[in-house]
Amino acid sequence: MASNGSAGEVRDVHSSETTKTLLKSDDLYDYMLKTMVYPRENEFMRELRQITSEHIFGFMSSPPDEGLLLSLLLKVMGAKRTIEVGVYTGCSVLATALAIPDDGRIVAIDVSREYFDLGLPVIKKAGVAHKVDFREGPAGPILDKLIADEEAGSFDFAFVDADKYNYGNYHEQLLRLVRVGGVLAYDNTLWGGTVAMPDDTPLTEEDRKKRDSFRGFNAMIAADTRVEPVQLPIADGITLCRRVA
C-alpha cells in the first residue's frame, strides 16, 4: 500500500519491498502461507517462485496463495482449455498446466517472451510444456485472431494479469472466447486497497491512474448482466466472473 516516507516521499503501491496481500497483519499472512500454502505447494511451483522472487520485477508475480486458488478452481471446473493474458515468468501458467488434463491447452499471451524464458526450463522439467501455446505480441490482436479462427466459446477459463488499462477491452473479447458457464479471472482489481481510499490519498501518478482505471472496471463488471461476478480480497484482489450469457 502506498505511504509517505519520512521525507514525504510517495511510494509505489507495489514494489520489491511490499507483500502482495490486503491482510492488515503480516504475521497472519505468514501463518496462512506456512500452514496451508507452502506445505501443499508443488515442488516445481516452489522452484519457479524462488527463481521469480530473485528477479528485479519479482513482485509482479502472482503469489502462491493465489496460485493454489486458481489451481483448485480449475480442477473443480474440470477446465481443459484456458487463456492467459500476461505471463511474466509463468507462475500462473505453470499452476494452470499442472491443474488441467494432459491433453489440455493454455494459450499464453505476452508482449515479450523474455521473462517467460526464465521460467520455461522449470515448466519443461515439470513435464507440462506441451500444454502451453505461447503467443508473443499485444493481447488485443491475438485475441481477435482467436475469435476470427472460430475459437469463440471454446475456452473454459481465462486469467488476466496484464495491461491494467485494457481490462475492459479484454473483457469484451474474452466473453466471446470463454463458453457460457466458464470463468474469467482478473487480477489486481483492488490495487493495493487504493480503490477504496479517499481521492486525495497521496499516490504516485501511475498508481492514481491505475486506481481510477480499476474503479471504472469494477463498476463495469458489477453492472454487466452477462456475468456473475465475485471479488475476493486475495493477493491484490481477484475478480472471478462466471459467464451466464
**213-223 pLDDT, tens per residue?**
999 999 999 99
Per domain, the residue ranges of the chain are 26-243
**39-92 pLDDT, tens per residue?**
999 999 999 999 999 998 888 888 999 999 999 999 999 999 999 999 999 999
What was the pLDDT predicted at 8? 62
Closest C-alpha among 72, 106, 74 to residue 90: 106
Tell me the three cell numbers of residue 186: 482478473
What was the pLDDT predicted at 19? 67
pLDDT of residue 5 exceeding 70: no
On whether the pTM is more than 0.85, the answer is yes
Beta bridge partners of 132: 106
* Cα separation, 94 vs 104, whole angstroms: 12
What was the pLDDT predicted at 4? 46
**84-118 pLDDT, tens per residue?**
999 999 999 999 999 999 999 999 999 999 999 99
pLDDT of residue 130 exceeding 90: yes
pLDDT of residue 9 exceeding 90: no
* Cα separation, 153 vs 183, whole angstroms: 12
CATH (one of 3.40.50.2020, 3.40.50.620, 3.40.50.150, 3.40.50.300) for 26-243: 3.40.50.150
